[in-house]
Every structure is written in structure tokens, then in C-alpha cells.
Amino acid sequence: MPSSIYFIGTGPGMRPEWLIKEAWDILNRADKVLIVDDAWMPEAIWPWAVQKEYVSSEEVLAHLTNLTSSERNIAVMLAESPSYHPHMGMWVTWAIDHNVMGTIVPGLWDAMTALDTNGFCVREALEVVSHTKGPVVRILEGNGAHIPTQIYHLLPSGTWHLDDGNNSMQAMPVLTIKTREDLPHFWSAHLPLQTRKILLLHAGNATMKAGFRLQELGARVFMAPASEITDSPDEAYVEQTLSHIERYDWVIFTSQEAIGRFFLSLKRLYIDIRRMRAQIAVVGPQTAAALQDYGLFPTLMPRRQLSQEGLAQALSSYALLGTSILMPQGNLNRSYLQDYLTQHGALITPLTLYQNQAVPISPRIADMIERHMIDAIFYTASSSLEHLLVQHPHLLESLQRIPAISIGPLTSRTLQHYGIPVTGQPDHPSLEAMISWLIDYYSKE
């Protein structure tokens, strides 16, 4: 996996409570942190397990060159907001030139509008300072004199209070903030999925990425794959089939998993991709994107119905009689497309590159489902539900009462077959679309 660099603004005072939630989550999973020009006070609390190292601005590139050769996630912490650092342009240019993924996580200054939209008055000039008892916001006079007209303190309860100037606090809950791990974050209480418990029943890189995205939106994510992907049961057949890759007129992919394993097998068997003369068809944009990661572009993709049915309709305009078609797939792939092509005279070679097998979910997850402690479940494949019910048939009644987000029509039909109401199904079958749908759902609620 390539390295990633995150340039994180610490905010004034360089204390944990000034970090936005995205920065907090990154530091929880970082492999190394570079603290530039003492952007974090040595005596301040360091609540993360990751190792930190203090460096100067001039030393950053040398450290990044060394770390990106082996580390996966590197965080670079800068005082206040990275946008204002004079070396930021040079560092970003270096990352682009070296094909290193990067993200700039804003400090407090770029995020001030969040306070405004959440009810805190920032129409006037203000300054933010760190105090031993917690953050302080001072509203200033508009003439640039830097004379505070109002001073607000953030108390441990997560509530802003107005200081009346007589060393006594006037209770004034301008902004109420929920805390995360006893540290107040301005944005946590107003994230669209804050406190929601979301269950993902699938595994893989795409699901892991979706899990991180849900966490960034405030959700508590539980990943309990009800099945696992294992290698092909017949590697000899895979080798024999791919060794004659030049025979095929079409290669059809209906899953991202099949694409990854197809090209991994070619590499493992030292088969030159240039031997493949076939046109390529894919079932949808996510599969097309996975294919493009290998430098190839599909000849055909359905425009509307992103399914085997839609792909069959798209292929119907081609001469299929006698056409040799390779279909890399899993052991649980639906047979609709293969049956359709066979009926139209195509010569089909199904190639099972992986198996989808049931795995037991933890007793804790089963208990949370039974006690209705999950706010929503992401169903990305019919097999996930079926594997879950084989293990725990007694959970069906509980599953029928938990909001179900389905990735597409086929999974929705499976849910309905078991009497589980489909709470939501996005227009496009992707995890990103499911997350967007869930945000809209809870926003309306």
C-alpha cells in the first residue's frame, strides 16, 4: 500500500481539544508523526499511541523521503493551519512529484465557519487562545484595537459560558458540545452521523475505506463480515485458463474482487497482459474504476441498469454467436448473464477466482443486533444476509426492525424475501452512495 501524508493543523495552544475530528482520527491510525517547529508543546498531553518526533521545517523533506519508503500513514503537525505555513507549497509539490498521496487537514482558522453555522456568534472579529482551564474565545471590537468585548470559556461540561468580567461565570450556553473521550471537539456534536452505530457485514479494502468515512462523519462503526473471501478451489484450472488468454474475444467482470484477483493471477503466472486481445465489459462504474487502476478501460458498461441484466441488454447489440467469452467470478456469482449469453450462442468459460464462505460473527455483535443496539446495517451483498441467518436464524426478527441500507435491487429483493423492510437504496450501487443516502436519512429525521 502506498504511503499517505497528512498535514495537520494543531490550532492555537497546540492542545488536543483544538484538533478537528478528522485530525484526531488520522492520529489514531498514523504510523509516525512529525511535529514541525515545536507545533506541539513537549509537556502537553499526548493521547495517541503513535510515535512522535520533533523536526524543523528544513528537515521535513528529508524525513518524508525516508519515511515514505516504508511507512504507510505519516502525519505532519503544524501550528495553527497548514495553509499558512510558508513551506506548504514546496511540500505538496514534492508529494505530487513522488506520487505520494496527501491530504491537508485544516486548523482552527479554516474551520471557524463551523462555529458560525452551529450558532456561535463570529460575525465580529475574534481571537482564540488556550488557557490552563480550557479554550477561550474572545470577541473583539471591530476597529482592530484587539480589545475584547466578550469572553467565552469552554467548560469541561462542553458548554460555552460568558465571562462577565467579575471573575464569575454567567451561564450562557451559546454552543453545546458533546465530548469525545472527555475532550471537547467543536464539530463532533454536529456531525451528521454523530453517535449512530453502523454495522457493516462485508470485508475488503472498499469496506474499510467506507468504515473510515463513516467514522469521520461521527458514526461508531462495527465491522462484522458474515463471510470471507478465499482463493480459488482449483488453482491448476486458473493457470490453464489464463495461459490461453489470447483465445478470448471478451472478458466480462461483474465484481471488483474478480478484477483484483484476475490481474494478480496474471502477475503471479508471469503472463503478459499484452497477449489479451479481448474487449472488456464491466457491470458498473465502480468496476470500471477498479479496471482503470490497471491502466485499462472497458469497451462496454450498461448506462442505466447497473446489473447483470443491464449488461446483458448492453451486449445484445453485439454479434454473440460463436464469440468466446471469459467470465472471471466468485463461487456465488449469479448465473443470469452466463445463461443469457449461452442462449445467444456465445462460448462461455466461467473462471472461479475466489470463494465466498460463511464465517461466524462475534457473540457481541449478535447480542447488539438482538437488543436493537444498531442504528443501521449496510447490506452490500445478498450472501452476507444469508450467511448471517444460517448462523443466527433467531436474529431475523431483530433484523426486521433495524434500518436496512441496501446497495442495489438484487440485495433489496433478498431483504424483502426475508421480510426485512428496505429503509434505503441509493440510485447508484456503491458504498459512497449508501453513505450519502444515510446522511440524508438522518438529516431529515
**189-241: pLDDT as tens digits:** 446 787 789 998 877 667 777 888 887 777 888 888 877 777 888 888 998 89
Question: Does residue 104 register a pLDDT over 70?
Answer: yes
CB 6 within 8 A of CB 73: yes
147: confidence class by pLDDT, cuts 50, 70, 90: low
pLDDT band at 305 (very low <50, low <70, confident <90, very high): confident
Q: What is the CATH number of domain 4-106?
A: 3.40.1010.10
Answer whether 197-226+359-444 and 230-357 agree in fold.
Answer: yes
pLDDT in tens, 395-416: 999 999 999 999 888 889 899 9
For cell 449488461, what's the residue?
311
pLDDT beyond 50 at 97:
yes
- Domain boundary assignment for the chain: 4-106, 112-190, 197-226+359-444, 230-357
Contact (CB, 8 A) for 13 and 135:
yes
Strands 126-131 and 160-163: unpaired
Which pLDDT belongs to residue 114? Answer: 34
pTM confidence score: 0.48
The whole-number pLDDT of residue 408 equals 85
Q: Calculate the alpha carbon distances from 100 to 95, 172, 210, 239, 312 in Å.
A: 5, 47, 21, 34, 39
Residue 242 and residue 276: Cα distance in Å, rounded? Answer: 10
Cα 240 from Cα 213, distance rounded (Å): 41
Q: For residues 132 and 258, which has the higher predicted lDDT (pLDDT)? A: 258
Q: Kindly report the CATH class assigned to 197-226+359-444.
A: alpha beta
Closest by alpha carbon to 406, among 392, 420, 396, 394?
420
Average pLDDT over residues 23-38: 87
Per-residue pLDDT, averaged over 88-96, amounts to: 84
Q: For residue 373, is pLDDT > 60?
A: yes
The domain at 230-357 falls in which architecture?
3-Layer(aba) Sandwich (3.40)
Q: What is the pLDDT of residue 433?
A: 87
